[in-house]
Amino acid sequence: MDELKTRILTEGKILPGNIIKVGSFLNHQVDTALMGRMADEFAKHFDISRITKILTIEASGIALATVCSFKWGIPLLFAKKAKSDNIENGLFCSEIYSYTYKKNVTVMVESELLKSTDHVLIMDDFLANGEAIRGLTDLVKEAGATLEGIGIAVEKGFQGGGDRFRKMGIDIYSLAVIDSAEVGKIVFRN
């Protein structure tokens, strides 16, 4: 998506360790109008009429998934990390490694909110090594639901997570795939 790539080039910052910072419009401050156009872009690729639930993970995936849910009229479910007091019932859980926090994290959804009859589109703002998304696909499997695809705003292609899902035959669509990111130079995949 050209508009997103332009925003990454003009506003993104590369930090040491190949960290790409897009906090001025994607995952700290959020340009929700841009996200509306991103939703339109996803709707060209995925058959939205098949989707019964959008699944994302807290925290920064929620904004993009919310705009898509609002525009498409499809319920949103966001997986939670770790255990908090006000989750009591049966849970679907998966353990992932968080590179951001450098520790294992449990991702979970309440089992009554994800049914075997659900057709799920997983969405997130970022995909790097794919641990968070792998955790979400685990939850979909546990529920016996159907995974319709994975929609990502920015994929760090050089970290391999996205290609691993592609090799598994999963329909994954990223609006911008970055193949290399060094200070002063970002190269997008064609």
Residue 66 makes CB contacts below 8 A (sequence gap 6+) with 76
Round to whole Å and give the CA distance between 113 and 108.
11
- Name the one range near its own copies by CB under 8 A: 72-80, 115-123, 144-152, 162-170: 72-80
* 100 lies in the binding site for its own copies (CB under 8 A): yes
Residues 101-160 that bind its own copies (CB under 8 A): 101, 109-110, 113
Q: Which of 10, 44, 49, 86 binds its own copies (CB under 8 A)?
A: 86
CB of residue 98 to its own copies, shortest distance in Å:
9
Instruction: Decide: 48 and 14 in contact? Cβ < 8 Å.
Output: no
Number of residues that bind its own copies (CB under 8 A): 39
Distance CA 84, CA 61 (A): 19
Look at residues 159, 187, 182 and name the one whose alpha carbon lies nearest to residue 16: 182
User: Nearest CA to 15 among 121, 86, 108, 100?
Assistant: 100
Q: Given the rule CB under 8 A, which residues bind its own copies?
A: 15, 17, 19, 21, 23-24, 28-33, 35-36, 58-60, 62-63, 66-67, 69-70, 73, 75-78, 80, 84-88, 100-101, 109-110, 113
